Copies of this chain bind each other. A is one copy, B any other.
Amino acid sequence: MRGKNNLAAFFSPSSIALVGASVSPGKISGVILESLMNSFSGALYPVNPRYGEVMGLKCYPSIEAIGSPIDLAVYALGAEAIPGAVLEAGRNVKGAIVVSGGFAETGPKGAEIEKALKEAARAAGVRVIGPNCMGIYDTVSGLDTFFIPKERVRRPESGGLSIISQSGSFAVTAMDELATDGIGVARVVSYGNKSDVDEADCLDFLADDPETKAIAIYIESIQDGRRFVEAASRCSARKPVMAVKVGKGASGISAARSHTGAIAGRYEIYKAAFRKAGIIELDGYEDFLVACKALGLTTGGAGKRIMIITDGGGMGVNIADACEEMGLSVPALPEEVSDELRSLFPEYFTIGNPLDLTGSATDESFALALSKTMSGDFYDMVIVAALWGPPALTDNLPGMLAQKPGFTEKPIIACTPGGAYSRERIRLFHEAGLPAFSTPEAAVRAAAVLSKAGVRR
């Protein structure tokens, strides 16, 4: 049943049945139905023997009663009812997403139900995502089984990043952060207990998916290490693949076991597997988000040489420190560049790397500094740390930087620490296509990820 091409039912379904559809919009199935009615343009069939109609759609007593085969069935029933429902649907369904909990993650009784689900799926010849998961949020197909209302968790717009995650809450939270920050995604898959479809299956699909430009993976445990490394290697040869593995220390491992019934295993083994598979290793939640923002908006740089341009001397020093701590270099300005800058700028600007434009900075001085330092082959990436105190700085700055005066490829990372005024400016950078971060450390972490993503190519 394994193979790289049989996940199409999940990622480009033309028909969806929602099993356990409910007339109550607050329930899990109600949230899913509402989302699908808004975003999915294919055929949509609520299934529940108790209702003739749900939210204005005709409701069917069973999948069989729909009368034609269905690409995807989404199950929102109590755990115990699911194996039977999957068996009953039989070959009328290609793919099943089981969002319900109450399986192996709850103990021996749930593990028995999960075993029955696997057997039912095998008998019916259906692939399964879940159980105990959020399912799929997909801006390409319009599928959205994430059962949390949009008021609480925003949905990202269309973009080139795909996220696959064992933890539903991790996927949900990352999606919400990216949506709030204006970063788009292609596909987000939460597979929970992964009774069938796992990260390797998803990687097989995403490797060939033209909509997916970069992939971020959240891992608690991997069962089949060899298959994972094969799939990830194939994928990372085509696009950047990044992964965070949680459950590293003793407490984390024990917590991960409780969470999805998984044995987390020694972290060193994962590190080695990541290296072998060409996966960029991420440290934890913060690093995961930074990486998603960076590769959701830009592509990798070709090396580790960082130029720092700022209007706040202290912030520049902090960024230089963080670069060295994270294995990046901050080479001094070449003499010809510093001579030219000295002739162009007032004498109280600090000409060096970091380059400090002081409180007299203007949009134009930032753009000029960018052009003069980045047009030669001296640096691979630039971190522009703009504090918004200087009165001459305007909201045109992000757009002026994004023109990349004098160069084309090298990534620009913005850093704009501060309160309300600065935080609102982050979105302006994102709209201009430049990843922007609230702290020096996050900006440097982004540079480190981009440098790894670029070197990989």
Which chain B positions have C-beta within 8 A of A417? 173, 177, 285
Flag the segment in A5-13, A145-153, A204-212, A375-383 that touches B: A145-153
Q: Does A254 contact B (CB under 8 A)?
A: yes
- Complex interface residues of chain A between 216 and 253 (CB less than 8 A to chain B): 218, 220, 246-252
In the complex, whether A362 has a CB less than 8 A from a CB of chain B is: no
A324 neighbours in B (Cβ, 8 Å): 248-252
From 245 to 299 in chain A, residues with beta carbon under 8 angstroms from any chain B beta carbon are 246-252, 254-256, 258-260, 284-286, 289
A80 within 8 A of B: no
Q: List 17 A-B contacts (CB under 8 A).
A: A152-B389, A152-B391, A154-B420, A169-B311, A169-B359, A176-B418, A179-B419, A180-B423, A220-B314, A246-B314, A247-B317, A247-B321, A255-B320, A258-B313, A258-B352, A259-B316, A286-B441
Q: What per-residue 1/0 map shows which CB atoms of A160-173 lie under 8 Å from chain B?
A: 00000111111011
Residues of B with C-beta under 8 A to A353: 251, 255
Interface string of A300-338 (1 = CB under 8 A from B): 000000001001111111101111110001101000000
Residues of A within 8 A of B (CB): 26, 101-102, 105-107, 148-149, 151-154, 165-170, 172-173, 175-181, 218, 220, 246-252, 254-256, 258-260, 284-286, 289, 308, 311-318, 320-325, 329-330, 332, 347-348, 350, 352-354, 356, 358-359, 387-389, 391, 417-423, 439-442
CB contact between A317 and one of B152, B259, B322, B329 (< 8 Å): that residue? B259
A-B contact sample (5 more), CB < 8 A, given A251-B321, A252-B320, A286-B441: A152-B388, A180-B419, A249-B321, A254-B332, A259-B316
**Residue of A165, A247, A284, A347 with highest tally of chain B CB at under 10 A:** A284
Q: For the complex, give the distance between the alpha carbons of A312 and B134 in Å.
A: 12
Interchain CB contact under 8 A, B255 and A169: no
A251 to B325, CA, bound (A): 11
Given that A249-B320, A312-B170 are contacting pairs, would A153 and B419 also be in contact in the complex, using a CB cutoff of 8 Å? Answer: yes
Given contacts A259-B350, A284-B321, contact A419 B176 (CB under 8 A): yes
Min CB distance A126 to B, Å, is 25
Please judge, given known A-B contacts A173-B312, A251-B323, whether A391 and B289 are in contact too, CB under 8 Å: no
Of all chain B residues, the one with the shortest Cβ separation from A393 is B152
- A315 closest partner in B (C-beta): B169
Q: Which residues of B contact A332 (CB under 8 A)?
A: 254
A168 cross-chain contacts in B, Cβ below 8 A: 314
Q: A169-B314, A389-B169 are in contact. Are A439 and B259 (CB under 8 A)?
A: no
Residues in chain B near residue A329, CB distance under 8 A: 251
Given A391-B149, A421-B176: A259 in contact with B169 (beta carbons within 8 A)? no
Contact B166 A314 (CB under 8 A): yes
Q: Is the CB of A354 within 8 A of B284?
A: no
Complex: how many Å from CA A322 to CA B285? 10
Residues on the B chain within 8 Å of A418, using CB = 153, 172-173, 176-177, 180
Do the beta carbons of A251 and B330 come within 8 Å of each other?
yes
Q: Which residues of B contact A26 (CB under 8 A)?
A: 391
A285 in contact with B220 (CB, 8 Å)? no
Report Cα–Cα, A151/B178, bound state, in Å: 27
Residue among A175, A258, A350 facing the most chain B CB atoms (10 A cut-off): A258
A307 to chain B, nearest CB (A): 11
